[in-house]
Amino acid sequence: MPTAPATSDRPKPDKRFFVGRFPVFGRVVRRFGLRGKLLLALLPPIVAVLLATGYASYTVTEEFIDIALERTVKLHTLAVAHEVEQYLDECRRDLLFLARGDLSADGLQTVFERRMGVGGKAYFELCFVPATGGDPVAMVRQGDIVRRMGADGLAKVRPNPFAQLDMLASLADGQVEVSDVVEVTYPMPTAAAANRYETRQVIRLVTRVPGSDTTPPGLLFISLEAAKLRNILSWYNSDKSPLWAFPRSDELRFSYFLNRDGWMLFQSEDYAQGDKPLTTYLARENFSGTLGKAGQEAAFRPNEKYLRYWTVVEDIRKGESGLRKVAQERGGRSAVDSYYFGYAPVVFLSVPGREPEVLGGVVFVDRSQLPVVAGYKNLDVMLFVTIGAIILISFFIFWFGRILTKPIRELAAEVNSISSLEDMEEIRLPYSGFDITTLQESINNIIRRVRHQVEEIQARDEVILNVNKRERASLDREKGVLAEAELSRIPEIVGTGPAIANLKVNILKAAQVDVDVLITGETGTGKQLVAEAVHNHGSRSEKPFVSINCGALDENLLLDALFGHVKGAFSEAKDDRNGAFVEADGGTLFLDEIQSASPKVQQSLLRALASRRIKPLGSDRELVVDVRIVAATNVDIPSLIENRTFREDLYYRLKVVSITTPALREHRENIPLLSVYYLRQAEQLAGRETLDLSKGALAKLVAYDWPGNVRELVNCITRAAVMAETDIIQVEEIRLENEAYALYPVPDAQEKDSPEPEDAPRSVPDRPAIVKPSPAEPELNPRQKEAWPQIRKRERVTRKEYQDMVGGDLSSRTAIYDLQDFVKRGLLIKRGRGPSTTYEVVG
């Protein structure tokens, strides 16, 4: 048979041997590297010996391990069932003991409290319901105390204890009946919550009280929380179990309790979590059926098609116990192929002298991995020497293979180190040889082709991107939102999203009550608009709204503007003057920049707010005023209180209701909407019509952080509308306040990886020069002064690093404010946005 001509003069005997004589094996070998081929040739014989020896040994021991596991599961299941029976029987004896004692309210409470005090069973409720005559007695345990229910409280218990009286005729003397799991609700008032209720899932034990000369006939019952029985199952399944004779492997074991009707009521849980709600999620795995029944949402009843399960239920009804080995279904949470399923009935002696009746049963599921673990241990011991030889051979194969494949691995590492298309460089390794040289040259050819294609694609993308940025931005949705906003309840506040919606809700809440309001927020966030909205939507909307800027007046002028003066109060007081308090009588007085008020003004404001009386300058007569105060500040007043520059009592007088205006960077989704809104206003100022934003201009607006917030946005839009040369405002016509980092916005995701074109502008003629101030800048706040030397040393800083520098308890908002202040002063330049934002030292 003719063969294809070889591409090299070198002979290839190995390939012809494997392909010609063993074609299948040859194809497999060619798929592996050098180390893989060596391992493939040497390890199979050793592995075959291991498998044969291990299988023979494990087969012998598996049978005996199964016998031991069956006995362990049987013992566990019967022990848990017996423990539950003993627990219920002790409850039965406690109930009969109480029934033969003093059934008065004081007597029952005394016995109840004494049994709890000496460590008796902590029953949830104890109740005596007389059939005729007498008063019912109901007590419930609330923590470590016993609460006695009055007539009003007893009427609120659900289900009502009087509903149990139907059982009176069917109960014999000394007979005790046990209920299924019942959900009960009791009023549990506390000092903090008078209408507090608690709901528990309990099991009630009921007996008949025949009556006496002092006690009318009726029913006496006690309730124990179903979680107590669940905890017995959990106890036996934990390392605190009385059957815990040896450490267990990490495998899935659990028990669950079912009633005579086949309902799974609860399952074992982590013993340390004894107060956890009842669940059945492990028990109902791989079953389908009905989840939840009256009084217990977690109960589960499998469908009738699960014959194995219903056969077990039938055996439990007959009082029979058993054990089954079940194949594990695929998709379960266990790694074993089969598991053990033990069950035992739980009986209850309702009437002494009669046969006990079956209440339900306990099922124990043990997905033991002991056969698997034992098999592994057996193989480890018996084949230790053989496995050691395999490890040693594998080590030498790996070592020699690593030396032989080192050039290929280094070549692969060089290729993997190429992080981006722009960084692709040709690879040069200090190795010779035909194979490695050919492979290296092939990769370099690919790199050269890819770099050439990337350059072409980038050039095209740059052209397309520049054209796209100059197109008209689609803002139809924003225009529609603005049209709807005019019909909204608060048209003064423009915007959508959670931040604005929360602001509007807070405005309406504040407007509904006639109390003082403190508005906090950064400069330019619309605090006066919020104040006017609170006034316009409140009960004082028909009265005056007077605004005073506390930061625009010195101390004496501010006092005069607030409280007025009488003629002759000072040399220039030619006539009487009503102050802002009098002018706003019946309405609202807005105090902007309240933090700028001097201590004297703060003292006067505090007196006026406390008494709602003012005294004009130069007057001895006090005037009663009815004024609602709305104050605003753009600083953190608690920090001013710490520095003793603002009165704490005045702060809490003003902060009856607090509203925070969000910074524009916190709701960037509204920047397009606000841009359209203020662009329509700017058109009227500029005498223009049908102005629109380009896509590039809109992207620049959205990317900017807006330290001046909405006020800065308004100025920017107005300036652009005046300076625009066409009906579409372009990106270069959007001039931001701090061009040091905002002249070119952070690129979008689609352009952040694009290289900068060679003809891109390296400087802007009208860009303001950045002058680096002295490190000892006098206007820096104490935090900035403390952190500035470290920032200069590092040459860059993030928001989190700045917080650590100044103490770690600084809020994120204050840290961002400080860093942006550094940027405004020309000390830092902001790079990036979002979580990747960094601030670099200028120069």
Domains of the chain: 87-225 (3.30.450), 421-455+461-467 (no CATH), 476-480+665-742 (1.10.8.60), 513-662 (3.40.50.300), 782-841 (1.10.10.10)
- Per-residue pLDDT band at 2 (split at 50, 70, 90): very low
User: What's the mean pLDDT in 333-353?
Assistant: 83
Q: Distance between CA 594 and CA 608 in Å, rounded? A: 15
pLDDT grade for 662, boundaries at 50, 70 and 90:
very high
Residue 782 in this model has a pLDDT that exceeds 70 = yes
- Check pLDDT > 90 for residue 198: no
Report yes or no on whether pTM surpasses 0.75: no
DSSP state string for 487-499: TSS-TTS---SHH
Reduced to 3 states (helix: H, G, I; strand: E, B; else coil), residue 334 is: coil
pLDDT at 645 over 80: yes
Q: Which residues contact 748 (CB under 8 A, 6 or more apart)?
A: 699
Q: Between these two residues, 522 and 328, which has the higher pLDDT value? A: 522
pLDDT score of 387: 74
Q: Any bridge partners for residue 146, and if so which?
A: 141
Contact between residue 204 and residue 348 where contact means Cβ atoms under 8 Å apart: no
Angle, to 10 degrees, between the axis of helix 434-469 and the axis of helix 406-416? 10
Given a cut of 60, is residue 348 above it in pLDDT?
yes
Least confident of 92-106, 120-134, 430-444, 650-664: 430-444
| End-to-end C-alpha distance for the chain, whole angstroms | 76
What is the SS3 string spanning 798-835? CHHHHHHHCCCCCCHHHHHHHHHHHHHCCCEEEECCHH
Q: Mean pLDDT, to the nearest integer, of 207-216?
A: 83
Residue 233 pLDDT greater than 80, yes or no: yes
Assign 534 a pLDDT band (cuts: 50, 70, 90). very high
> Measured between alpha carbons, how far is 49 from 382 in angstroms, rounded to an integer?
12
How would you class 431 by CB atoms within 10 Å of its CB: exposed for 0-12, middle for 13-18, buried for 19 or more? Answer: middle
**Exposed, middle or buried: residue 421 (CB in 10 Å: 0-12, 13-18, 19+)?**
middle
Helix (H, G, I), strand (E, B) or coil at 501: helix
Give the pLDDT confidence score for residue 161 in this predicted structure: 82
Mean pLDDT calculated for residue range 332-340: 69
Predicted local distance difference test score (pLDDT) of residue 646 = 92
Give the total residue count for the chain. Answer: 843
Q: Is 572 helix (H, G, I), strand (E, B) or coil?
A: coil
Give, for 293, the enclosing helix (H) or strand (E).
Answer: strand 289-293
Specify the residue for token string 């790079």.
831
- Name the most confidently modeled range: 40-54, 137-151, 396-410, 523-537: 523-537
pLDDT at 58 over 60: yes
Strand order in the sheet with 545-549: 545-549, 588-592, 628-633, 517-520, 657-660
Inter-residue contact 206 to 177 (CB < 8 Å): yes
The predicted model gives 789-808 an average pLDDT of 86
User: Average of pLDDT values for 111-132?
Assistant: 85
Most confident of 6-15, 43-52, 167-176, 666-675: 666-675
- CA dihedral sign of residues 482, 488, 493, 497: negative
pLDDT above 90 for 389: no
Contact (CB, 8 A) for 693 and 732? no
In the numeric block, the tokens 């019946």 are attached to: 586
| DSSP classification of residue 158 | B
Phi first, then psi, for residue 20 (nearest 5°) are -75, -45
Q: Do the Cβ atoms of 839 and 797 come closer than 8 Å?
A: yes
pLDDT of residue 521: 92
User: What are the pLDDT digits (tens) for 472-517?
Assistant: 888 888 888 887 776 677 888 888 889 989 999 999 999 999 999 9
Q: Is 108 in contact with 100 (CB distance < 8 Å)?
A: no
Distance, in Å, from the CA atom of 253 to the CA atom of 120, rounded to the nearest integer, reads: 30
Q: Looking at the predicted structure, is the pLDDT value of residue 361 above 70?
A: yes
State the pLDDT at residue 27.
60
Q: Which of 334, 348, 267, 345 is nearest to 89 (CA)?
A: 348
Confidence grade of residue 379 (pLDDT, cut at 50, 70, 90) = low
DSSP 8-state symbol, 759: T
Statement: residue 86 has pLDDT above 90: yes
Task: Record the tokens describing residue 812, joined without a space.
Answer: 């994120």
When pLDDT is cut at 50, 70 and 90, the band that residue 354 belongs to is confident
> What confidence score (pLDDT) does residue 758 get?
35
Maximum average pLDDT range among 24-38, 143-157, 177-191: 177-191
> To the nearest whole number, what is the mean pLDDT of the chain?
81
Write the pLDDT tens digit of every residue in 598-641.
Answer: 999 999 999 999 888 988 888 888 889 999 999 999 999 999 99
Sheet with strand 338-348: strands edge to edge: 289-293, 296-302, 264-267, 253-259, 357-366, 338-348, 322-327
pLDDT band at 80 (very low <50, low <70, confident <90, very high): very high
pLDDT tens figures, 682-722: 888 888 888 888 888 888 889 888 988 998 899 998 998 88
Dist CA 522 CA 504 (whole Å)? 17
Rounded Cα gap, residues 674 and 479, in angstroms: 10
Pick the residue with more confidence: 467 or 91? 91
Say what angle helices 695-703 and 434-469 make with each other, to 10 degrees.
Answer: 100
Q: At what angle do helices 34-99 and 105-117 cross, to 10 degrees?
A: 140
Closest CA to 284 of 270, 308, 266, 307: 266
What does the pLDDT read at residue 773? Answer: 42
Least confident of 146-150, 767-771, 834-838: 767-771
Q: How far apart are alpha carbons 204 and 222 in whole angstroms? A: 6
pLDDT at site 519: 94
pLDDT digits (tens, 9 = 90+) for 298-326: 999 999 999 989 999 999 999 999 998 88
Beta strand 613-614 with 322-327 is unpaired
Tell me, what's the pLDDT at 695?
Answer: 87
- Tell me, letter by letter, the H, E, C secondary structure of 529-554: HHHHHHHHCCCCCCCCEEEEEHHHCC
CA torsion 125-131-136-142 (nearest 10°) is 10
Which residues 6+ apart lie within 8 Å of 836 measured at CB?
none
In this prediction, residue 593 has a pLDDT band, given cuts at 50, 70 and 90, of very high
Backbone φ/ψ region at 331: left (φ over 0), alpha (ψ -120 to 50), beta: left
Q: Averaged over 69-86, what is the pLDDT?
A: 90
Confidence of residue 194 (pLDDT cuts 50, 70, 90): confident
What is the per-residue pLDDT for 780? 84
Least confident stretch, 148-157, 370-379, 439-448, 503-512? 370-379
Give me the helices (H) in 200-241, please: 226-236
Residue 8 pLDDT: 46
